[in-house]
A = this chain, B = another copy of it.
Amino acid sequence: MRATVMFGAGDVRIEQVPDATILEPTDALVVVSRACICGSDLWPYKSMEQSEFGRRMGHEFIGVVEAVGSEVRTVKPGDVVVAPFVVSDGTCVFCQEGLHTSCLHGARWCSDTDGGQGEAVRVPQADGTLVVLPVGRDDALMPSLLTLSDVMGTGHHAAVAAHVAPGKTVAVVGDGAVGLCGVLAAKRLGAEQIIILGRHADRIALAKEFGATDVVSERGEEAVERVRELTGGFGVHSVLECVGYAESTVTAVDIARPGGAVGRVGVPQDQGVPVSQTSFYKNVSVGGGIAPVRAYIDELLPEVLDGRIQPGRVFDRVTNLDGVPAGYRAMNDRESIKVMIAF
């Protein structure tokens, strides 16, 4: 079969790889129908050292079940399924607490099994991992359904970790696909004011349609001043950090109101971030992390199905598998917010 392999920074190719196949009785074999490129795929795209064997890519996909192992109970051949970006068994103590990203029998796409940016995938722990979608393979809702595999659930996680609630003031740091989904998540959780920090016209336009009430295009200290001006001098109750740089995390803490909360979902690029004292003296909590999107599908799926939320609008480009290398370039050059791959 054919799949996306990254061999180094800027070097993404479509290669012939071994066919996906069932190895364990808890596996399912899924033929991919939709996948996408993630903002987090751009980190290795910028920095990966050249590798002879390369690494498989893709952790967000929808597909049709082709076959299942003997112990699989909840999905069957022919089902249209969405896969969250982490494998989970759905039964361990952490899955039961809704933290599927810490599953005791979890696994990662691409390192432990196939990647989503390929023709087919062996899905471990199929009963826990996959969610059956009550739609056909090429339903018009596919873009929004696909976001349940990562970005919409991740934006929602940031909002939950930032304690967004009715009437609260919110700021979203970052106008990528996750940041935009964070705006949507904050809106549906009842935020009164939603400030987006970003500077790309197309993304800002979509953020406004998703519910952003204010735009701050400054950065650093100027951004902090601007947010304070917009919030009576205090800062916001809830900050969604959707970038991951130390600088953006400092900004996130600085624009939080005393007693507020920062929900982080941007993959952190540094271990030591200089916010220990600023967060302490303001009593600002810093929470969030890798998003247990599996836990959120039950809550978000009905709203996608009835059209109340349309997170799929973050996709502004569709390609086939051969177009994936160009898709990486477009996202890396900020020509595209997020690229969908249709098989």
Contact = CB atoms under 8 A, between A and B. Distances in A.
A43 interface: no
**Interface residues of A, dominant DSSP:** mixed
B283 A99 contact: yes
Interface of A: 93-94, 97, 99, 101-102, 161, 234, 246, 249, 258-259, 261, 264, 267-268, 270-290, 292
A114 B273 CA distance: 36
Nearest to A284: B289
Contacts of A264: 280
B285 A161 contact: yes
A309 B285 CA distance: 28
Contacts of A259: 94, 97, 99, 102
Given A272-B276, A282-B289, 8 more contacts: A97-B259, A161-B283, A272-B272, A279-B286, A280-B288, A280-B289, A284-B289, A287-B287
A25 to B, nearest CB: 26
A280 B285 contact: no
A277 B43 CA distance: 15
Contacts of A102: 258-259, 282-283
Nearest to A292: B283
A176 to B, nearest CB: 17
- Give the copy number: 2
A242 to B, nearest CB: 13
B290 A283 contact: yes
Contacts of A272: 272-276
Q: Which of A234, A261, A286 has the most CB of B within 10 A?
A: A286
Nearest to A233: B104
A291 to B, nearest CB: 8
Contacts of A249: 276
Nearest to A264: B280
Contacts of A246: 276
A276 B268 contact: yes
Top 4 nearest A-B pairs (CB, nearest first) are A285-B287, A102-B258, A283-B289, A272-B272
A284 B161 CA distance: 10
Contacts of A277: 268, 270-271
A78 to B, nearest CB: 35
A94, A102, A267, A271: which has the most chain B beta carbons within 10 Å? A271
A320 to B, nearest CB: 34
A234 B93 CA distance: 10
B282 A285 contact: no
Contacts of A234: 93
A171 B222 CA distance: 40
